[in-house]
C-alpha cells in the first residue's frame, strides 16, 4: 500500500458518499445520470466477486463492501425512492455502446480466460467509460450543481492518483498491470476537460457552465 493509493481510495470513497448524501439530503437526483450509476454498480459487483474467494486485507474487504453497498443504494434512490426527480430527458446516453465493447474487449484482451478474470477485466474496461453518461448529461444540460462537480472532481482524482500508485509500484515493487494502467489512463483522460473547467471555474466560486 502507498500514499497515492490510500488518497486515491479515500477520494473515491468521498465521491460516492458525496453523491449519496446529495441525493438523500436534497431528496432529488436532478442532474445525476442514473445510467452512470448503474454502470458503476455493475463495475463494483463484477470486480469484487473475489470477496468470496480471496482475502487480501481487512481494509480491502471493508472498502469493497462499502463500494458495492453505496453504489446499489445510490441506484435505489435514483430509480426507486426519488424516481420522480430523475431527469429521463437528459440522461439519454446509450450505455449498450459502452457495455458491448467492454464485454468484447474483456473476452479478447485479458490476463487469464477464467470466469472471475474475465469479469474483472470487463469491470476495468467498463469503469474507464462509466462516467460518460454523466459527462454527456452535464454537457446536455449545459451546467452542473457545484456539489455534482465536487463529486466528479473526487471521482476523477481517484483514478488519476491510481496512475501515480502504478508508477510507484512499478518503480518500487516491480509490479504492474497493463490492463488496469491503460484503462486508468483512458478513464483519467476523459475527465481532463472537466478538471480544467472545475479548476478555472468552480474553485473560483462560479457555477460549472459548459459552453452549450
Partner 1 sequence: IEKSSTHDEL
Residues 6+ apart with CB under 8 A from 83: none
162 binds partner 1 (CB under 8 A): yes
- Residue 96: CB atoms within 10 A of its CB come to 8
Contact 18, 147 (CB under 8 A): yes
- Which of 177, 186, 190, 195 touches partner 1 (CB under 8 A)? 177
- Which of 46, 110, 128, 187 touches partner 1 (CB under 8 A)? 110
Interface characters, 6-25, with partner 1 (x: CB under 8 A): ---x--x-------------
CB nearer to partner 1: give 149 or 187.
187
Q: How crowded is the C-beta side of 97, counted as CA atoms within 13 Å?
A: 5
21 is written with which cell numbers? 448524501
CB nearer to partner 1: give 16 or 19.
16
70 binds partner 1 (CB under 8 A): no
Contact 51, 64 (CB under 8 A): yes
User: Burial code of 129-142, b = ≥16 C-beta within 10 A, e = fewer?
Assistant: bbbbbbbbbbbbbe
Radius of gyration of the chain (CA): 17
Which residues in the 117-136 window bind partner 1 by CB under 8 A? 120
174 binds partner 1 (CB under 8 A): yes
- Which of 114, 176, 199, 200 touches partner 1 (CB under 8 A)? 176
Residues engaged in binding partner 1 (CB under 8 A): 5, 9, 12, 50, 54, 56, 60, 63-64, 67, 109-111, 120, 162, 165, 169, 174-180
Amino acid at each position: 500500500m502507498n500514499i497515492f493509493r490510500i488518497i486515491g481510495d479515500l477520494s473515491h470513497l468521498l465521491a460516492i458518499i458525496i453523491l449519496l448524501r446529495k441525493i438523500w439530503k436534497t431528496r432529488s437526483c436532478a442532474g445525476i445520470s442514473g445510467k452512470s450509476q448503474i454502470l458503476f454498480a455493475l463495475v463494483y459487483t463484477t470486480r469484487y466477486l473475489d470477496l468470496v474467494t480471496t482475502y487480501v486485507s481487512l481494509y480491502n474487504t471493508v472498502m469493497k463492501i462499502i463500494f458495492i453497498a453505496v453504489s446499489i443504494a445510490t441506484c435505489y434512490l435514483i430509480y426507486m425512492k426519488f424516481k420522480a426527480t430523475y431527469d429521463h430527458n437528459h440522461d439519454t446516453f446509450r450505455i449498450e455502446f459502452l457495455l458491448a465493447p467492454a464485454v468484447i474487449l474483456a473476452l479478447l484482451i485479458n490476463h487469464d480466460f477464467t470466469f472471475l478474470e474475465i469479469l474483472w477485466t470487463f469491470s476495468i474496461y467498463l469503469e474507464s467509460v462509466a462516467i460518460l453518461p454523466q459527462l454527456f448529461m452535464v454537457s446536455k444540460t449545459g451546467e452542473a450543481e457545484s456539489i455534482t462537480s465536487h463529486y466528479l472532481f473526487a471521482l476523477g482524482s481517484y483514478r488519476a492518483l491510481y496512475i501515480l500508485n502504478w508508477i510507484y509500484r512499478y518503480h518500487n515493487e516491480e509490479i504492474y498491470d497493463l490492463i488496469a494502467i491503460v484503462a486508468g489512463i483512458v478513464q483519467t483522460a476523459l475527465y481532463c476537460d472537466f478538471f480544467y473547467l472545475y479548476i478555472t471555474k468552480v474553485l473560483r466560486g462560479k457555477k460549472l457552465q459548459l459552453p452549450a
